[in-house]
Structures are given as structure tokens and as C-alpha cells.
């Protein structure tokens, strides 16, 4: 497994779950800790283009709305850890009225896993607005 342990997989699964729950509950403070300072979020806009947000813009986006009612709705589809240094989580998460498909990229920095990139698309619901 090239330096990868079961603990690495569990850590990434735990971060992916915390990510989905923080989106649902609109808790940007989770992302303050989870995201690397150089975090970048990229949305495929469905027409061949892309939209981009840095960490500060993402925190404002999450914190700028009310929590959603009910329980979080998401599914972690796949996890991959390589060399104990990089990892990826593939998931979908409901952010009403949309369902997003996300690919989350993690990097281990000073012993801690950090979310460095998020690439996503709208699976269902209205087009994403800026």
C-alpha cells in the first residue's frame, strides 16, 4: 500500500463526512480547519466553462446561508489514498435545490490531512449561480 494505512482511509472518510455535514449545517468554521490556505474550488458550469472560488470566498459562501432542515443527504462513492501523502474522495451531496457531485483532493501537510481542491458539477437541480 506504499505508506498507506487503514487509518488514512478512515481519516479521509471522516473528513468527507464532516465536509458533507458542514455544508448541510452551514458551519464554515469546519472548513477553516479542514481547508488548506491555498484551497481552490472549481465548478464545471455545464456549458464548457468553469467558476472558481478560493478559501475566503468559499467560507463566505457556506456561512452566507441558513442551515438546511432535516438530516444531511450525501453518499461517499469512492476513496483513494496514495503514498500516505495525497487522497481523493468522490461523493455526492444535496444542497437544496441541487445535488452536487464532488471530487475532493486532500494533501497531508505536517502530518495533517488538508482539503486542497474541490472540483464539482451540478448533478440535478437548477444551474449554479456565481
d(CA 48, CA 119): 14
Is 63 a member of any domain? yes
Range of the domain at 18: 6-124
- pLDDT tens digits along 55-114: 999 999 999 999 999 999 999 999 999 999 999 999 999 999 999 999 999 999 999 999
Confidence of residue 5 (pLDDT cuts 50, 70, 90): confident
Question: For the chain, what is the domain count?
Answer: 1
Q: Which of 5, 16, 12 is nearest to 91 (CA)?
A: 16
Is 57 a member of any domain? yes
Question: Using the 8-state DSSP alphabet, how is residue 66 labeled?
Answer: P
Is 83 a member of any domain? yes
pTM for the predicted model, two decimal places: 0.92
Is 54 a member of any domain? yes
Amino acid at each position: 500500500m506504499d505508506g498507506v494505512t487503514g487509518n488514512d482511509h478512515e481519516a479521509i472518510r471522516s473528513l468527507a463526512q464532516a465536509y458533507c455535514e458542514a455544508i448541510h449545517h452551514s458551519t464554515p468554521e469546519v472548513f477553516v480547519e479542514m481547508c488548506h490556505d491555498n484551497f481552490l474550488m472549481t465548478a464545471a458550469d455545464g456549458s464548457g466553462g468553469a467558476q472558481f472560488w478560493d478559501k475566503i470566498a468559499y467560507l463566505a459562501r457556506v456561512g452566507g446561508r441558513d442551515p438546511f432542515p432535516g438530516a444531511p443527504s450525501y453518499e461517499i462513492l469512492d476513496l483513494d489514498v496514495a503514498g500516505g501523502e495525497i487522497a481523493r474522495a468522490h461523493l455526492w451531496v444535496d444542497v437544496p435545490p441541487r445535488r452536487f457531485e464532488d471530487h475532493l483532493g486532500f494533501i497531508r501537510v505536517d502530518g495533517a490531512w488538508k482539503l486542497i481542491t474541490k472540483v464539482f458539477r451540478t448533478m440535478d437541480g437548477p444551474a449554479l449561480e456565481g
